[in-house]
Structure 1
Protein backbone atom coordinates (compact mmCIF):
# COMPACT_ATOMS: atom_id res chain seq x y z
CA UNK A 1 0.00 0.00 0.00
CA UNK A 2 2.78 2.43 0.92
CA UNK A 3 4.66 1.61 -2.27
CA UNK A 4 1.62 2.19 -4.47
CA UNK A 5 0.74 5.41 -2.66
CA UNK A 6 4.18 7.00 -2.93
CA UNK A 7 4.80 5.84 -6.50
CA UNK A 8 1.53 7.50 -7.47
CA UNK A 9 2.25 10.73 -5.54
CA UNK A 10 5.82 11.26 -6.72
CA UNK A 11 4.88 10.13 -10.22
CA UNK A 12 2.26 12.89 -10.24
CA UNK A 13 4.81 15.43 -9.01
CA UNK A 14 7.30 14.52 -11.74
CA UNK A 15 4.69 14.49 -14.50
CA UNK A 16 3.47 17.95 -13.42
CA UNK A 17 7.08 19.15 -13.42
CA UNK A 18 7.75 17.81 -16.92
CA UNK A 19 4.49 19.38 -18.09
CA UNK A 20 5.69 22.77 -16.79
CA UNK A 21 8.96 22.35 -18.74
CA UNK A 22 7.03 21.50 -21.92
CA UNK A 23 4.83 24.57 -21.45
CA UNK A 24 7.91 26.70 -20.85
CA UNK A 25 9.56 25.51 -24.08
CA UNK A 26 6.32 25.97 -26.05
CA UNK A 27 5.91 29.51 -24.75
CA UNK A 28 9.43 30.93 -24.54
CA UNK A 29 11.14 28.89 -27.30
CA UNK A 30 8.30 27.73 -29.57
CA UNK A 31 10.38 27.06 -32.70
CA UNK A 32 13.68 25.91 -31.22
CA UNK A 33 12.38 22.64 -29.74
CA UNK A 34 9.70 21.55 -32.21
CA UNK A 35 11.68 18.41 -33.12
CA UNK A 36 11.58 17.26 -29.48
CA UNK A 37 7.78 17.35 -29.21
CA UNK A 38 6.95 13.98 -30.76
CA UNK A 39 4.86 10.97 -29.76
CA UNK A 40 7.98 8.80 -29.49
CA UNK A 41 9.74 11.29 -27.22
CA UNK A 42 6.64 11.50 -25.00
CA UNK A 43 6.49 7.70 -24.60
CA UNK A 44 10.20 7.48 -23.77
CA UNK A 45 9.95 10.31 -21.26
CA UNK A 46 6.85 8.89 -19.55
CA UNK A 47 8.40 5.42 -19.36
CA UNK A 48 11.61 6.85 -17.90
CA UNK A 49 9.66 8.69 -15.18
CA UNK A 50 7.74 5.55 -14.20
CA UNK A 51 10.89 3.43 -14.09
CA UNK A 52 12.77 6.03 -12.02
CA UNK A 53 9.96 6.48 -9.48
CA UNK A 54 9.22 2.76 -9.14
CA UNK A 55 12.90 1.85 -8.78
CA UNK A 56 13.64 4.58 -6.23
CA UNK A 57 10.66 3.50 -4.09
CA UNK A 58 11.68 -0.17 -3.85
CA UNK A 59 12.86 0.32 -0.24
CA UNK A 60 9.22 0.68 0.78
CA UNK A 61 8.58 -2.94 -0.20
CA UNK A 62 11.09 -4.27 2.34
CA UNK A 63 9.29 -3.00 5.42
CA UNK A 64 5.91 -1.82 6.55
CA UNK A 65 4.51 -4.39 8.99
CA UNK A 66 5.74 -5.05 12.52
CA UNK A 67 4.69 -7.83 14.96
CA UNK A 68 3.06 -6.55 18.16
CA UNK A 69 2.19 -9.44 20.45
CA UNK A 70 -0.44 -11.56 18.75
CA UNK A 71 -1.09 -8.94 16.10
CA UNK A 72 0.75 -7.44 13.15
CA UNK A 73 0.78 -3.64 12.94
CA UNK A 74 0.72 -2.27 9.39
CA UNK A 75 1.67 1.18 8.12
CA UNK A 76 3.12 2.23 11.48
CA UNK A 77 6.50 3.73 12.32
CA UNK A 78 9.08 1.38 13.77
CA UNK A 79 11.23 3.15 16.43
CA UNK A 80 14.16 0.85 15.58
CA UNK A 81 14.19 2.06 11.97
CA UNK A 82 13.60 5.77 12.59
CA UNK A 83 17.10 6.75 11.42
CA UNK A 84 16.60 4.90 8.15
CA UNK A 85 13.17 6.48 7.72
CA UNK A 86 14.61 9.96 8.32
CA UNK A 87 17.28 9.42 5.65
CA UNK A 88 14.63 8.20 3.19
CA UNK A 89 12.45 11.17 4.06
CA UNK A 90 15.22 13.70 3.47
CA UNK A 91 16.08 12.13 0.10
CA UNK A 92 12.40 12.11 -0.91
CA UNK A 93 12.03 15.69 0.33
CA UNK A 94 14.89 16.97 -1.83
CA UNK A 95 14.58 14.75 -4.93
CA UNK A 96 10.83 14.15 -4.81
CA UNK A 97 9.59 17.61 -3.83
CA UNK A 98 12.10 20.49 -3.56
CA UNK A 99 13.85 19.84 -6.89
CA UNK A 100 10.59 19.42 -8.87
CA UNK A 101 9.02 22.38 -7.05
CA UNK A 102 11.92 24.70 -7.86
CA UNK A 103 11.91 23.57 -11.50
CA UNK A 104 8.13 23.95 -11.81
CA UNK A 105 8.15 27.37 -10.10
CA UNK A 106 10.93 28.75 -12.30
CA UNK A 107 9.22 27.52 -15.48
CA UNK A 108 5.82 28.93 -14.51
CA UNK A 109 7.23 32.27 -13.34
CA UNK A 110 9.10 32.66 -16.64
CA UNK A 111 5.90 31.78 -18.52
CA UNK A 112 3.97 34.41 -16.53
CA UNK A 113 6.71 36.94 -17.24
CA UNK A 114 6.51 36.29 -20.99
CA UNK A 115 2.71 36.43 -21.06
CA UNK A 116 2.61 39.70 -19.12
CA UNK A 117 4.96 41.30 -21.64
CA UNK A 118 2.82 40.36 -24.62
CA UNK A 119 0.49 42.98 -26.08
CA UNK A 120 -2.79 41.39 -27.15
CA UNK A 121 -4.72 43.56 -29.63
CA UNK A 122 -7.68 41.30 -30.40
CA UNK A 123 -10.42 40.63 -27.85
CA UNK A 124 -10.55 36.89 -28.61
CA UNK A 125 -6.84 36.49 -28.04
CA UNK A 126 -7.06 38.67 -24.95
CA UNK A 127 -9.48 36.19 -23.36
CA UNK A 128 -7.17 33.30 -24.26
CA UNK A 129 -4.20 35.22 -22.88
CA UNK A 130 -5.98 35.83 -19.58
CA UNK A 131 -7.09 32.20 -19.39
CA UNK A 132 -3.52 31.04 -19.93
CA UNK A 133 -2.27 33.24 -17.09
CA UNK A 134 -5.02 32.05 -14.74
CA UNK A 135 -4.33 28.39 -15.57
CA UNK A 136 -0.61 28.72 -14.87
CA UNK A 137 -1.18 30.56 -11.58
CA UNK A 138 -3.84 28.10 -10.36
CA UNK A 139 -1.66 25.11 -11.31
CA UNK A 140 1.20 26.55 -9.25
CA UNK A 141 -1.08 27.26 -6.28
CA UNK A 142 -2.60 23.75 -6.42
CA UNK A 143 0.87 22.19 -6.44
CA UNK A 144 1.82 24.19 -3.34
CA UNK A 145 -1.41 23.54 -1.44
CA UNK A 146 -1.43 19.81 -2.16
CA UNK A 147 2.19 18.80 -1.66
CA UNK A 148 3.91 21.39 0.56
CA UNK A 149 1.91 20.82 3.82
CA UNK A 150 2.40 17.04 3.68
CA UNK A 151 6.17 17.18 3.20
CA UNK A 152 6.59 19.73 5.99
CA UNK A 153 4.42 17.86 8.50
CA UNK A 154 5.85 14.46 7.59
CA UNK A 155 9.37 15.74 8.27
CA UNK A 156 8.30 17.31 11.58
CA UNK A 157 6.54 14.09 12.59
CA UNK A 158 9.62 11.95 11.94
CA UNK A 159 11.93 14.39 13.74
CA UNK A 160 9.72 14.51 16.85
CA UNK A 161 9.39 10.71 16.74
CA UNK A 162 13.20 10.37 16.73
CA UNK A 163 13.41 12.35 19.97
CA UNK A 164 10.64 10.28 21.56
CA UNK A 165 8.08 13.06 21.39
CA UNK A 166 5.30 11.49 19.37
CA UNK A 167 2.37 13.90 19.17
CA UNK A 168 -1.04 12.50 18.27
CA UNK A 169 -2.28 15.79 16.84
CA UNK A 170 0.74 16.01 14.55
CA UNK A 171 0.20 12.42 13.44
CA UNK A 172 -3.44 13.18 12.59
CA UNK A 173 -2.38 16.30 10.71
CA UNK A 174 0.00 14.20 8.60
CA UNK A 175 -2.89 11.90 7.64
CA UNK A 176 -5.02 14.89 6.62
CA UNK A 177 -2.25 16.44 4.52
CA UNK A 178 -1.59 13.05 2.90
CA UNK A 179 -5.22 12.99 1.78
CA UNK A 180 -4.74 16.54 0.49
CA UNK A 181 -1.68 15.42 -1.50
CA UNK A 182 -3.69 12.56 -3.04
CA UNK A 183 -6.48 14.99 -3.97
CA UNK A 184 -4.18 16.68 -6.51
CA UNK A 185 -5.00 13.88 -8.95
CA UNK A 186 -8.69 14.84 -8.63
CA UNK A 187 -8.22 18.61 -8.80
CA UNK A 188 -6.05 18.81 -11.93
CA UNK A 189 -8.66 17.37 -14.35
CA UNK A 190 -11.15 20.02 -13.16
CA UNK A 191 -8.54 22.72 -13.72
CA UNK A 192 -7.84 21.60 -17.28
CA UNK A 193 -11.52 21.05 -18.08
CA UNK A 194 -12.61 24.56 -17.12
CA UNK A 195 -9.49 26.34 -18.39
CA UNK A 196 -8.50 24.42 -21.51
CA UNK A 197 -10.77 24.41 -24.54
CA UNK A 198 -8.70 21.73 -26.28
CA UNK A 199 -8.91 19.41 -23.27
CA UNK A 200 -12.65 20.05 -23.06
CA UNK A 201 -13.27 19.40 -26.74
CA UNK A 202 -11.25 16.20 -26.80
CA UNK A 203 -13.11 14.92 -23.75
CA UNK A 204 -16.44 15.67 -25.41
CA UNK A 205 -15.38 14.01 -28.66
CA UNK A 206 -14.41 10.87 -26.74
CA UNK A 207 -18.06 10.45 -25.70
CA UNK A 208 -19.53 11.26 -29.11
CA UNK A 209 -20.72 8.51 -31.42
CA UNK A 210 -19.12 8.18 -34.82
CA UNK A 211 -16.04 10.06 -35.87
CA UNK A 212 -14.98 12.72 -33.35
CA UNK A 213 -14.72 16.21 -34.68
CA UNK A 214 -11.44 17.99 -34.68
CA UNK A 215 -10.80 19.81 -31.44
CA UNK A 216 -10.96 23.55 -31.59
CA UNK A 217 -7.67 25.29 -31.34
CA UNK A 218 -8.87 28.63 -30.10
CA UNK A 219 -6.65 29.65 -27.23
CA UNK A 220 -4.98 26.29 -26.89
CA UNK A 221 -1.81 26.57 -28.88
CA UNK A 222 1.02 29.07 -28.77
CA UNK A 223 0.20 31.66 -31.42
CA UNK A 224 3.47 33.19 -32.51
CA UNK A 225 3.99 36.45 -34.35
CA UNK A 226 7.56 36.56 -35.63
CA UNK A 227 9.53 39.69 -36.34
CA UNK A 228 13.23 40.26 -36.84
CA UNK A 229 14.02 40.51 -33.15
CA UNK A 230 11.15 39.02 -31.17
CA UNK A 231 8.36 36.46 -31.04
CA UNK A 232 5.13 37.46 -29.32
CA UNK A 233 3.29 34.66 -27.55
CA UNK A 234 -0.51 34.52 -27.40
CA UNK A 235 -1.75 31.72 -25.14
CA UNK A 236 -0.11 28.72 -23.55
CA UNK A 237 -2.84 26.20 -22.71
CA UNK A 238 -2.39 22.94 -24.63
Structure 2
Protein backbone atom coordinates (compact mmCIF):
# COMPACT_ATOMS: atom_id res chain seq x y z
CA UNK A 1 0.00 0.00 0.00
CA UNK A 2 2.77 2.42 0.95
CA UNK A 3 4.85 1.78 -2.19
CA UNK A 4 1.85 1.92 -4.53
CA UNK A 5 0.50 5.10 -2.95
CA UNK A 6 3.81 6.96 -2.95
CA UNK A 7 4.65 5.91 -6.52
CA UNK A 8 1.19 6.87 -7.78
CA UNK A 9 1.18 10.31 -6.16
CA UNK A 10 4.75 11.10 -7.20
CA UNK A 11 3.85 10.19 -10.75
CA UNK A 12 0.73 12.35 -10.49
CA UNK A 13 2.86 15.33 -9.46
CA UNK A 14 5.24 14.67 -12.36
CA UNK A 15 2.34 14.51 -14.82
CA UNK A 16 0.77 17.70 -13.50
CA UNK A 17 4.07 19.60 -13.55
CA UNK A 18 4.72 18.61 -17.19
CA UNK A 19 1.11 19.12 -18.24
CA UNK A 20 0.28 21.76 -20.80
CA UNK A 21 -2.81 22.66 -18.78
CA UNK A 22 -1.18 22.92 -15.38
CA UNK A 23 -2.41 26.51 -15.03
CA UNK A 24 -6.03 25.34 -14.93
CA UNK A 25 -7.63 25.49 -11.47
CA UNK A 26 -8.56 21.81 -11.41
CA UNK A 27 -5.01 20.66 -12.00
CA UNK A 28 -3.56 22.93 -9.33
CA UNK A 29 -6.09 21.38 -6.96
CA UNK A 30 -4.98 17.89 -7.98
CA UNK A 31 -1.41 18.88 -7.13
CA UNK A 32 -2.60 19.96 -3.68
CA UNK A 33 -4.43 16.65 -3.23
CA UNK A 34 -1.38 14.65 -4.28
CA UNK A 35 0.84 16.56 -1.83
CA UNK A 36 -1.63 15.91 0.98
CA UNK A 37 -1.73 12.20 0.11
CA UNK A 38 2.07 12.00 0.08
CA UNK A 39 2.33 13.64 3.50
CA UNK A 40 -0.32 11.30 4.88
CA UNK A 41 1.39 8.22 3.45
CA UNK A 42 4.71 9.33 4.96
CA UNK A 43 3.35 8.40 8.40
CA UNK A 44 2.83 4.72 7.49
CA UNK A 45 6.38 3.53 8.38
CA UNK A 46 6.07 5.05 11.86
CA UNK A 47 2.63 3.50 12.41
CA UNK A 48 3.84 0.06 11.28
CA UNK A 49 6.95 0.29 13.48
CA UNK A 50 4.84 1.21 16.51
CA UNK A 51 2.36 -1.59 15.82
CA UNK A 52 5.08 -4.24 15.51
CA UNK A 53 7.19 -3.04 18.44
CA UNK A 54 4.20 -2.24 20.68
CA UNK A 55 6.11 0.85 21.78
CA UNK A 56 6.78 4.43 20.65
CA UNK A 57 10.39 5.23 19.70
CA UNK A 58 10.00 8.68 18.15
CA UNK A 59 9.84 10.91 21.22
CA UNK A 60 7.51 13.70 22.21
CA UNK A 61 8.15 15.68 19.02
CA UNK A 62 7.21 12.64 16.96
CA UNK A 63 3.88 12.42 18.80
CA UNK A 64 3.04 16.01 18.05
CA UNK A 65 4.10 15.92 14.41
CA UNK A 66 2.67 12.58 13.32
CA UNK A 67 -0.73 12.88 14.99
CA UNK A 68 -1.21 16.45 13.80
CA UNK A 69 -0.04 15.52 10.29
CA UNK A 70 -2.94 13.09 9.98
CA UNK A 71 -5.47 15.82 10.75
CA UNK A 72 -3.67 18.40 8.60
CA UNK A 73 -3.67 16.30 5.44
CA UNK A 74 -7.23 15.07 5.99
CA UNK A 75 -8.59 18.61 6.23
CA UNK A 76 -6.43 19.85 3.36
CA UNK A 77 -7.84 17.09 1.14
CA UNK A 78 -11.52 17.64 1.90
CA UNK A 79 -11.19 21.44 1.81
CA UNK A 80 -9.49 21.18 -1.59
CA UNK A 81 -12.30 18.94 -2.85
CA UNK A 82 -14.88 21.42 -1.57
CA UNK A 83 -13.01 24.22 -3.32
CA UNK A 84 -12.99 22.22 -6.56
CA UNK A 85 -16.76 21.80 -6.33
CA UNK A 86 -17.21 25.53 -5.71
CA UNK A 87 -15.00 26.39 -8.69
CA UNK A 88 -16.96 24.05 -10.95
CA UNK A 89 -20.21 25.61 -9.75
CA UNK A 90 -18.94 29.12 -10.49
CA UNK A 91 -17.57 27.97 -13.86
CA UNK A 92 -21.09 26.89 -14.82
CA UNK A 93 -23.06 29.78 -13.33
CA UNK A 94 -20.50 32.60 -13.78
CA UNK A 95 -18.04 31.54 -16.50
CA UNK A 96 -16.73 35.05 -17.18
CA UNK A 97 -15.77 35.61 -13.55
CA UNK A 98 -13.96 32.28 -13.52
CA UNK A 99 -11.84 33.23 -16.53
CA UNK A 100 -10.68 36.42 -14.80
CA UNK A 101 -9.06 34.55 -11.93
CA UNK A 102 -5.27 34.51 -12.19
CA UNK A 103 -2.70 31.95 -11.18
CA UNK A 104 -1.84 34.11 -8.19
CA UNK A 105 -5.43 33.88 -7.00
CA UNK A 106 -5.25 30.09 -7.12
CA UNK A 107 -2.01 30.07 -5.13
CA UNK A 108 -3.53 32.31 -2.47
CA UNK A 109 -6.59 30.06 -2.29
CA UNK A 110 -4.44 26.95 -1.91
CA UNK A 111 -2.42 28.68 0.80
CA UNK A 112 -5.62 29.62 2.63
CA UNK A 113 -6.79 25.99 2.52
CA UNK A 114 -3.59 24.74 4.11
CA UNK A 115 -3.56 27.59 6.65
CA UNK A 116 -7.08 26.82 7.87
CA UNK A 117 -6.18 23.13 8.04
CA UNK A 118 -3.14 23.98 10.15
CA UNK A 119 -5.20 26.11 12.54
CA UNK A 120 -7.59 23.22 13.14
CA UNK A 121 -4.61 20.95 13.78
CA UNK A 122 -2.76 23.20 16.25
CA UNK A 123 -4.69 22.05 19.36
CA UNK A 124 -3.67 18.45 18.68
CA UNK A 125 -0.07 19.51 18.16
CA UNK A 126 0.01 21.45 21.43
CA UNK A 127 -2.04 19.17 23.69
CA UNK A 128 -0.53 15.77 22.87
CA UNK A 129 2.49 14.46 24.73
CA UNK A 130 4.46 11.26 25.26
CA UNK A 131 3.35 9.33 28.33
CA UNK A 132 4.67 6.17 29.97
CA UNK A 133 2.64 3.36 31.46
CA UNK A 134 3.40 0.03 33.07
CA UNK A 135 3.06 -3.29 31.31
CA UNK A 136 3.16 -6.94 32.31
CA UNK A 137 6.69 -8.20 32.74
CA UNK A 138 8.03 -4.94 34.12
CA UNK A 139 8.38 -3.36 30.68
CA UNK A 140 7.53 0.33 30.37
CA UNK A 141 5.29 1.15 27.42
CA UNK A 142 5.40 4.61 25.87
CA UNK A 143 2.43 6.04 24.00
CA UNK A 144 1.04 9.33 22.71
CA UNK A 145 -1.88 10.66 24.75
CA UNK A 146 -3.79 13.97 25.02
CA UNK A 147 -3.15 16.08 28.11
CA UNK A 148 -6.61 17.66 28.31
CA UNK A 149 -9.73 16.29 29.97
CA UNK A 150 -11.99 13.68 28.42
CA UNK A 151 -14.79 16.20 27.84
CA UNK A 152 -12.45 18.68 26.15
CA UNK A 153 -10.95 15.96 23.95
CA UNK A 154 -14.44 14.74 23.04
CA UNK A 155 -15.51 18.25 22.08
CA UNK A 156 -12.40 18.76 19.97
CA UNK A 157 -12.88 15.54 18.00
CA UNK A 158 -16.54 16.39 17.47
CA UNK A 159 -15.49 19.74 16.00
CA UNK A 160 -12.98 17.98 13.73
CA UNK A 161 -15.68 15.57 12.57
CA UNK A 162 -17.91 18.52 11.74
CA UNK A 163 -15.20 20.37 9.82
CA UNK A 164 -13.90 17.34 7.91
CA UNK A 165 -17.09 15.38 7.16
CA UNK A 166 -20.36 17.15 7.99
CA UNK A 167 -19.75 20.74 6.85
CA UNK A 168 -17.98 19.82 3.58
CA UNK A 169 -20.67 17.22 2.92
CA UNK A 170 -23.45 19.79 3.29
CA UNK A 171 -21.64 22.31 1.06
CA UNK A 172 -20.80 19.76 -1.64
CA UNK A 173 -24.32 18.34 -1.56
CA UNK A 174 -25.82 21.81 -1.95
CA UNK A 175 -23.50 22.70 -4.86
CA UNK A 176 -24.18 19.47 -6.71
CA UNK A 177 -27.92 19.89 -6.21
CA UNK A 178 -27.75 23.35 -7.77
CA UNK A 179 -25.57 22.06 -10.60
CA UNK A 180 -27.96 19.19 -11.29
CA UNK A 181 -30.89 21.62 -11.38
CA UNK A 182 -29.01 23.91 -13.77
CA UNK A 183 -28.13 20.98 -16.00
CA UNK A 184 -31.73 19.71 -16.12
CA UNK A 185 -33.02 23.17 -17.00
CA UNK A 186 -30.49 23.47 -19.83
CA UNK A 187 -31.58 20.09 -21.22
CA UNK A 188 -35.25 21.07 -21.50
CA UNK A 189 -34.59 23.53 -24.30
CA UNK A 190 -31.10 22.75 -25.63
CA UNK A 191 -29.70 25.37 -28.04
CA UNK A 192 -28.39 22.64 -30.35
CA UNK A 193 -28.97 19.00 -31.02
CA UNK A 194 -28.26 16.78 -28.05
CA UNK A 195 -24.99 14.88 -28.28
CA UNK A 196 -24.31 11.43 -26.96
CA UNK A 197 -20.94 12.33 -25.53
CA UNK A 198 -20.63 14.12 -22.23
CA UNK A 199 -19.30 17.67 -22.24
CA UNK A 200 -15.94 18.42 -20.58
CA UNK A 201 -17.72 20.17 -17.71
CA UNK A 202 -19.85 17.12 -17.03
CA UNK A 203 -16.76 14.91 -16.99
CA UNK A 204 -15.05 17.22 -14.51
CA UNK A 205 -18.10 17.16 -12.24
CA UNK A 206 -18.22 13.37 -12.38
CA UNK A 207 -14.52 13.18 -11.51
CA UNK A 208 -14.85 15.49 -8.50
CA UNK A 209 -17.97 13.72 -7.25
CA UNK A 210 -16.26 10.32 -7.55
CA UNK A 211 -13.22 11.52 -5.58
CA UNK A 212 -15.51 12.96 -2.88
CA UNK A 213 -17.47 9.70 -2.59
CA UNK A 214 -14.25 7.69 -2.26
CA UNK A 215 -13.02 10.11 0.43
CA UNK A 216 -16.20 9.68 2.46
CA UNK A 217 -16.18 5.92 2.00
CA UNK A 218 -12.63 5.75 3.37
CA UNK A 219 -12.86 8.28 6.23
CA UNK A 220 -16.44 8.00 7.46
CA UNK A 221 -15.96 4.54 9.10
CA UNK A 222 -12.88 5.88 10.90
CA UNK A 223 -14.75 8.84 12.33
CA UNK A 224 -17.80 6.80 13.29
CA UNK A 225 -15.55 4.42 15.21
CA UNK A 226 -13.75 7.26 16.99
CA UNK A 227 -17.01 8.92 18.02
CA UNK A 228 -18.55 5.64 19.18
CA UNK A 229 -15.58 5.04 21.47
CA UNK A 230 -15.73 8.59 22.81
CA UNK A 231 -19.46 8.73 23.54
CA UNK A 232 -19.92 5.09 24.57
CA UNK A 233 -17.27 4.18 27.10
CA UNK A 234 -18.93 0.88 28.00
CA UNK A 235 -18.45 -1.00 24.74
CA UNK A 236 -19.19 -4.71 24.96
CA UNK A 237 -16.10 -5.53 22.93
CA UNK A 238 -12.85 -7.12 23.95
CA UNK A 239 -9.64 -5.14 23.78
CA UNK A 240 -8.36 -7.32 20.94
CA UNK A 241 -11.54 -6.72 18.92
CA UNK A 242 -11.23 -2.97 19.41
CA UNK A 243 -7.62 -3.10 18.22
CA UNK A 244 -8.64 -5.01 15.10
CA UNK A 245 -11.42 -2.55 14.28
CA UNK A 246 -9.11 0.39 14.83
CA UNK A 247 -6.49 -1.23 12.59
CA UNK A 248 -9.02 -1.86 9.78
CA UNK A 249 -10.53 1.64 9.75
CA UNK A 250 -7.03 3.17 9.86
CA UNK A 251 -5.94 1.08 6.86
CA UNK A 252 -9.08 2.22 5.08
CA UNK A 253 -8.07 5.87 5.48
CA UNK A 254 -4.62 5.15 4.07
CA UNK A 255 -6.17 3.35 1.10
CA UNK A 256 -7.79 6.63 0.03
CA UNK A 257 -4.36 8.10 -0.69
CA UNK A 258 -3.55 5.05 -2.82
CA UNK A 259 -6.83 5.11 -4.77
CA UNK A 260 -6.73 8.79 -5.73
CA UNK A 261 -3.93 8.52 -8.36
CA UNK A 262 -5.90 5.80 -10.16
CA UNK A 263 -8.97 8.04 -10.15
CA UNK A 264 -6.94 10.83 -11.74
CA UNK A 265 -5.75 8.39 -14.41
CA UNK A 266 -9.21 7.04 -15.21
CA UNK A 267 -11.21 10.25 -14.97
CA UNK A 268 -8.87 13.06 -16.04
CA UNK A 269 -8.56 13.52 -19.78
CA UNK A 270 -5.31 15.48 -19.59
CA UNK A 271 -3.72 12.76 -17.48
CA UNK A 272 -4.60 10.12 -20.08
CA UNK A 273 -3.36 12.36 -22.89
CA UNK A 274 -0.03 12.76 -21.13
CA UNK A 275 0.33 9.00 -20.70
CA UNK A 276 -0.48 8.42 -24.36
CA UNK A 277 2.05 11.04 -25.42
CA UNK A 278 4.70 9.47 -23.20
CA UNK A 279 4.03 6.04 -24.69
CA UNK A 280 4.00 7.49 -28.20
CA UNK A 281 7.30 9.31 -27.64
CA UNK A 282 8.84 6.18 -26.14
CA UNK A 283 7.72 4.16 -29.16
CA UNK A 284 9.17 6.77 -31.54
CA UNK A 285 12.43 6.76 -29.61
CA UNK A 286 12.77 2.98 -29.67
CA UNK A 287 11.72 2.81 -33.33
CA UNK A 288 14.25 5.45 -34.34
CA UNK A 289 16.90 3.68 -32.29
CA UNK A 290 16.19 0.36 -34.03
CA UNK A 291 16.09 2.07 -37.42
CA UNK A 292 19.36 3.82 -36.71
CA UNK A 293 20.92 0.53 -35.67
CA UNK A 294 19.77 -1.22 -38.84
CA UNK A 295 21.01 1.66 -41.00
CA UNK A 296 24.34 1.55 -39.23
CA UNK A 297 24.57 -2.20 -39.82
CA UNK A 298 23.74 -1.79 -43.50
CA UNK A 299 26.25 1.02 -43.93
CA UNK A 300 28.86 -1.05 -42.09
CA UNK A 301 28.16 -3.96 -44.43
CA UNK A 302 28.51 -1.75 -47.49
CA UNK A 303 31.73 -0.29 -46.16
CA UNK A 304 33.14 -3.74 -45.50
CA UNK A 305 32.25 -4.92 -49.00
CA UNK A 306 33.82 -1.85 -50.54
CA UNK A 307 36.89 -2.33 -48.39
CA UNK A 308 37.24 -5.91 -49.50
CA UNK A 309 36.94 -4.83 -53.09
CA UNK A 310 39.63 -2.21 -52.61
CA UNK A 311 41.97 -4.54 -50.76
CA UNK A 312 41.62 -7.50 -53.19
CA UNK A 313 44.93 -7.56 -55.14
CA UNK A 314 45.26 -8.28 -58.79
CA UNK A 315 47.06 -11.49 -59.73
CA UNK A 316 50.18 -9.71 -60.83
CA UNK A 317 50.32 -7.52 -57.79
CA UNK A 318 49.95 -10.50 -55.45
CA UNK A 319 52.84 -12.39 -57.11
CA UNK A 320 55.07 -9.34 -57.10
CA UNK A 321 54.49 -8.67 -53.42
CA UNK A 322 55.17 -12.28 -52.61
CA UNK A 323 58.37 -12.30 -54.64
CA UNK A 324 59.70 -9.12 -53.02
CA UNK A 325 58.87 -10.52 -49.57
CA UNK A 326 60.76 -13.72 -50.30
CA UNK A 327 63.82 -11.77 -51.36
Shift of 1:12: 0.8
Q: Which structure has more helix as a fraction of its residues?
A: 2
Matched, 1:50 2:114: yes
Out of 220, 226, 240, which is 1:154 matched to?
A: 226
Closer, same or farther: CA 155–207 of 1 in aligned 2, 3 Å: farther
Corresponding residue number in structure 2 for 1:41:
105
Deviates more, 1:106-115 or 1:120-129: 120-129
Q: What TM-score does the superposition give when structure 2 sets the normalisation length?
A: 0.54
SS of 2:89's equivalent in the other structure is helix
Once residues 60 and 206 of structure 1 are traced to their aligned partners in structure 2, the CA distance between those partners, rounded to angstroms, is: 44
CA shift digits 1:104-127 (9 cap, x unpaired): 221223223333444473546447
Q: What TM-score does the superposition give when structure 1 sets the normalisation length?
A: 0.71
Matched, 1:104 2:169: no
Corresponding residue number in structure 2 for 1:145:
217
State the Cα RMSD in Å: 3.1
Corresponding residue number in structure 2 for 1:85:
153
Equivalent residues in 2 for 1:67-86, closer than 5 Å? 67-69=132-134, 71-75=140-144, 81-86=149-154
Once residues 99 and 49 of structure 1 are traced to their aligned partners in structure 2, the CA distance between those partners, rounded to angstroms, is: 15
Shift of 1:188: 2.5
Could you tell me whether the CA contact under 8 Å between 1:131 and 1:195 is conserved in 2?
yes
Could you tell me whether the CA contact under 8 Å between 1:20 and 1:104 is conserved in 2?
yes
Shift of 1:27: 2.0
Larger radius of gyration: 2
Once residues 184 and 261 of structure 2 are traced to their aligned partners in structure 1, the CA distance between those partners, rounded to angstroms, is: 25
Matched, 1:113 2:177: no
SS of 2:95's equivalent in the other structure is coil
Unaligned runs of 5+ in 2: 1-65, 282-327
Out of 54, 61, 64, which is 2:125 matched to?
A: 61
